Amino acid sequence: MRILGIESSCDETSVAVVDCAPDGHKVINLHTNSQIMTHQEYGGVVPEVAGRKHCLNIVPTIKAAIDDLNDIDLIAVTRGPGLAQGLTVGVSATKSLALAWDIPLIGVNHMEGHLLSQLLSDEIRPSDFEFPAISLTVSGGHTDLVLVKDFGQYELIGRTKDDAAGEAFDKIAKMLGLTYPGGPSLSKAAIGGDSAAIDFPRAMRQYKNFDFSFSGLKTSVLYYIKDNPDYNLADVAASAQEAIVDILAFKTINSCNALDVKTLFLNGGVAANEELRQRLTDKCLEHEVTFIPCDKKYTGDNGAMIAMAGIHRRGFPHSEISGSKSV
Ligand code: KG4
Ligand code: ZN
């Protein structure tokens, strides 16, 4: 079965063709048109501008991804969560294609796409890990710990109470005068810095739950740079990054131990962070947990993960996109 995946929930217009077979899936084509340069001058994503860009980019991106392939069996599209302006463009394009090609479509949850994205890697086979697994999904809008009992069977066991981890990276980077998106620029600024220089807060560490909070960290960095105008950028960046990585790793491994789970997935935009990957690698080794991080080429928003979610949803009865072409 060949599936087209379409993603347009934030600032990437991304379309992929994924072949699905019993022994694994293969990403045939993936084209992503990023709007990062457009939003950089505003320091964050402007929804109205994003919607207009998706409108311009959707057809060329679909054309580039399908090339001369004409044997698509199913189209999967992000139905949410995300910016309404972008989602409308992706869903409308999908409905038009499904009607024109007379094939079914399925609407999928963007977060389920991230949650399954480590399976896109050619090296990962379902036999490499066992369920239940825990997924740490860390993006610009979410910080979720999910108990994955099986494909399609998810239980949210913890989440951020305020800002997402990626949002914390973005906002702290902005305070430090670094460019958007803040995750990559903050970790670059942290190189050579002392991560123990400033003891920024690890909120909710003493709580026996799996929830997070990052808004206090943001405030703490703001006061630190106000009180110390001659601050050392590398030290502040390294210490702020350490505060985020430390609490994410601490709560995540605690959840694996508390629920006796032996597989950990890591995905979402922040999963590209080298410090986080290394910390979880070390913790998983220490606690005998199989660590399956998403390949860096699929951590950001992309159409391949939406195709993957569509493949796994196909056997399930519901789709929240109405219309005669829905499956
Ligand atoms: O999953 P994603 O591409 O979009 C959303 O669904 O939000 O995640 C984007 C987020 C941004 O906040 C960005 O700063 C963060 O992922 N990010 C990183 C890194 N690369 C991207 N955060 C930390 N370290 C990185 N290397
Ligand atoms: Zn995302």
- pLDDT tens readout for residues 116-166: 999 999 888 777 889 999 999 999 999 999 999 998 899 999 999 999 999
State in Å: Cα 230 to ligand 2 middle.
Answer: 36
User: How many other CB atoms are there within 10 angstroms of residue 184's CB atom?
Assistant: 17
The answer for residues whose C-beta is within 8 angstroms of residue 95's C-beta and 6 or more apart is: 105, 321, 323, 325
Buried b (16+ CB within 10 A) or exposed e, 58-69: beebbeebbeee
Query: What pLDDT score does 312 carry?
Result: 87
Residue ranges in the chain modelled with pLDDT below 50? 317-327
Closest CA to 159 of 202, 212, 208, 109: 212
Q: How far apart are CA 202 and CA 207, in angstroms?
A: 11
Q: How far apart are CA 137 and CA 144, in angstroms?
A: 5
Residue-wise pLDDT for 26-36, tens only, equals 999 999 999 98
Ligand 1 proximal residues by C-beta, below 6 Å: 10, 139-141, 166, 169-170, 181-184, 187, 268-270, 272-273, 300-301
Residue 106 near residue 75 (C-beta atoms within 8 A): yes
Which ligand 1 atom minimizes the distance to the CA of 181? 14
Ligand closest to Cα of 241 equals 1
The residue whose CA has the least distance to atom 14 of ligand 1 is: 183
What are the start-end ranges of the H helices in 144-286?
165-175, 182-189, 215-227, 233-258, 274-286
Structure tokens at 29: 């084509």
Residue 120 near residue 48 (C-beta atoms within 8 A): no
State in Å: Cα 295 to ligand 1 middle.
Answer: 14
Query: What pLDDT score does 122 carry?
Result: 82
Query: What pLDDT score does 24 carry?
Result: 73
The answer for residues whose C-beta is within 8 angstroms of residue 202's C-beta and 6 or more apart is: 243, 246, 247, 250
The residue whose CA has the least distance to atom 19 of ligand 1 is: 183
* Residue type, position 292, single letter: I
Query: What pLDDT score does 321 carry?
Result: 34
Which of 139, 163, 167, 274 is the pocket-test mutation for ligand 1 (most atoms within 8 Å of CB)?
Answer: 139
Query: What pLDDT score does 1 carry?
Result: 87
State in Å: Cα 65 to ligand 2 middle.
Answer: 20
State in Å: Cα 301 to ligand 2 middle.
Answer: 5
Q: How far apart are CA 100 and CA 273, in angstroms?
A: 41
**What is the helix (H) or strand (E) element at residue 156, kind and residue range?**
strand 153-159
Query: What pLDDT score does 323 carry?
Result: 33
State in Å: Cα 271 to ligand 2 middle.
Answer: 11
The CA-based dihedral angle spanning residues 159, 165, 167, 170, taken in that order and rounded to the nearest 10 degrees: 180
Which ligand 1 atom minimizes the distance to the CA of 180? 14
- How far does CA 321 lie from the centroid of its chain? 22
Q: Beta 2-7 vs 74-80: how paired, if at all?
A: parallel
Structure tokens at 20: 């699905």
